[in-house]
Structure 1
Amino acid sequence: MGELIGHARCSTVAQDLTSQREILASLGVAEDRIYLDKDLTGTNRARPGLDQALAAVRSGDTLVTRGVRLSLGGSIYDPADPMSKMFVNMLAVFAAFEADLPRMRTREGMSIARSRGRLEGRAPELTTRQQAELVRMHSSGELMEVFAVGRATVYRVPDRVATAAAEGA
């Protein structure tokens, strides 16, 4: 049987990896074979500890996916086994669901704020004075260079100023 390779991760600096390390050690993973990622969210794709762990595994070792067995709490899941494959896929579905919850709550909060008139979108790139000057110079072709903005801003600001003037009148 191959070596046991461990990976532990926590999403904030305040969290401690001690309990995860102890669990891995109790499962037989040597301290020098435990790779760590700290202060990384579940959606963060750059995980140097996981990359190191994956680089360390060899055929017959136990860790995660890629033709390597998964050990959770002492139970071994082999990706070649249909039941194990189903279990790992279910874990992936729950992980994706958990990652989507904050996005859903953020969208709901923004929708509520927008309906109450408290969310007006991104702040303008230009000050009121810059917007007035841009409107005055709109007919010249130098606006993008003068204000260091893109074409969309050059065309959007006059409409915004006209709408604000109509609402204020």
Structure 2
Amino acid sequence: MLDFGAVSLEWGTMLFQALVFLILLVLVRKFALGPALAVMEKRRQHIETEISSAERSRKDSETLLAEQRRLLDEARLEAKALIDRAHKQASDEETRIKKEAEEAAARLKAEATADIAREIAKAKAELQEQVAGLSVLLASKIIEKELDEAAQKSTVDQFLKQVGDRL
């Protein structure tokens, strides 16, 4: 026994307590620490797997995002090409319609000019017929009435007045 004043130690009790402590240490290590370490190792492996899976998913997402951006750019280019083509077609159609309208207007103008020329020729022919008929009528009236010069002048003036009214 060791005596330190108020505290005394007995060798037997100390050895017994040390032995119980070592037994408890072995039992804790075998039954508590081993399974706890195994669970912690499984958890560490699970976390590493999840991290690597998340990294793969992130890389896949970046790849898909790049692909989507590329497809979007292609779609924009195609849309721009379609719009440009539609503008060109509209412009070509506008030019064609204007040309057809100008040709139709020119054709109508030519037809109208020809119609006017025919109507003028017809009117002249009718006028010539009327003048010829009136000349014959005047001549016959003059012959019927052999009048003096004043009466003849009056008849011619009256005839010209009638002709002027008809024209």
Fold-level match, TM-score > 0.5? Answer: no
Larger radius of gyration: 2
**Structure showing greater relative contact order (alpha-carbon pairs closer than 8 Å, 6 or more residues apart):** 1
TM bracket, shorter-chain basis: under 0.3
Structure richer in strand, relative to its length: 1
The two structures have a TM-score, normalised by structure 2, of: 0.22
The two structures have a TM-score, normalised by structure 1, of: 0.22
